[in-house]
């Protein structure tokens, strides 16, 4: 991700977390190590700590797990008493608009907002085949209507759906041993007025 590389190093884990989870900026920046268990590979937000007051549990895997493991090693070595996960040299990150705007400009994404990661994460989860209800739980969208505002169907989504649907139908036809000859015969019968 070019944008991540253009950001200062202390913001790269923040962006990685946002990209994978779709959490709000405040939820990410206020996350403490009390909410992370690398042994069980979980991140937990307690009820009352989120915008909608619901708790949240996310399981860690892949890049997200690797990133948090590295951040924990750095924290244990350099800032063992600091409780927040994401920081700038042992101090909380409050605002990073200038760094964000500069990085966006450097990679040709001027006008993008950090909040856009909520939409990106939802889209990626749905495209990965994660049930929408589960994606909604991970991202913290309380209602289906709000989730739907973030899950925007694009032209590419519609094209991909057509490809998947065609492949599914083709598999179904093979499973039912329908052959091209059967289809040709069916079409000939229809043309000749034969009912099936």
C-alpha 133/C-alpha 108 separation (Å) is 33
Q: Averaged over 6-33, what is the pLDDT?
A: 92
- The pLDDT confidence band at residue 169, using thresholds 50, 70 and 90, is low
Question: Residue 150 is encoded by which pair of tokens?
Answer: 């973030």
Rounded distance, CA 121 to CA 119, Å?
6
Q: What is the pLDDT of residues 89-123, one digit of tens each?
A: 999 998 999 999 999 999 999 999 998 888 888 88
Class of domain 2-150: mainly alpha
Instruction: Judge whether 7 and 103 are in contact, CB under 8 Å.
Output: yes
Report the C-alpha gap between 71 and 1 in whole angstroms.
Answer: 19
CA distance 109 to 86: 24
Give the integer Cα–Cα distance in Å for 2 and 184: 51
Task: Give the domain ranges of the chain.
Answer: 2-150, 155-191
Rounded to two decimals, the pTM is 0.70
What are the CA-CA distances from residue 103 to residues 18, 50, 98, 139 (Å)?
A: 16, 28, 9, 24
* Model pLDDT, residue 188: 80
According to the model, what pLDDT value does residue 101 have?
95
- What is the 3-state secondary structure of the chain? CHHHHHCCHHHHHHHHHHHHHCCCHHHHHCCEHHHEECCCCEEEECCCCCCCCCCEEEECCHHHHHHHHHHHHHHHHHCCCCCECCEECCEECCCCHHHHHHHHHHCCCCCCCCCHHHHHHHHHHHHCCCCHHHHHHHHCCCCHHHHHHHCCCCHHHHHHHHHHHHHHHHHHHHHCCCCHHHHHHHHHHHHCCCCC
Query: 99 or 184: whose pLDDT is higher?
Result: 99
């Amino acid at each position: 991700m070019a944008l991540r590389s253009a950001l200062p190093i202390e913001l790269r884990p923040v962006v990685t977390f946002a990209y994978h989870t779709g959490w709000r900026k405040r939820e990410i920046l206020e996350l403490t190590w009390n909410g992370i268990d690398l042994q069980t590979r979980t991140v937990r937000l307690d009820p009352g700590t989120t915008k909608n007051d619901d708790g949240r549990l996310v399981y860690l895997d892949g890049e997200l797990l690797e990133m948090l493991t590295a951040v924990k090693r750095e924290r244990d070595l350099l800032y063992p008493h600091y409780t927040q996960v994401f920081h700038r040299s042992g101090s909380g990150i409050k605002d990073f608009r200038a760094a964000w705007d500069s990085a966006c400009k450097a990679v040709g994404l001027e006008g993008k907002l950090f909040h856009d990661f909520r939409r990106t994460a939802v889209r990626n989860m749905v495209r990965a085949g994660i049930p929408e209800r589960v994606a909604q739980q991970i991202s913290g969208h309380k209602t289906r209507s709000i989730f739907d505002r973030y899950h925007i169907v694009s032209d590419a989504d519609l094209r991909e759906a057509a490809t998947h649907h065609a492949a599914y139908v083709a598999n179904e036809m093979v499973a039912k041993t329908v052959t091209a000859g059967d289809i040709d015969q069916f079409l000939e019968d229809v043309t000749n007025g034969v009912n099936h």
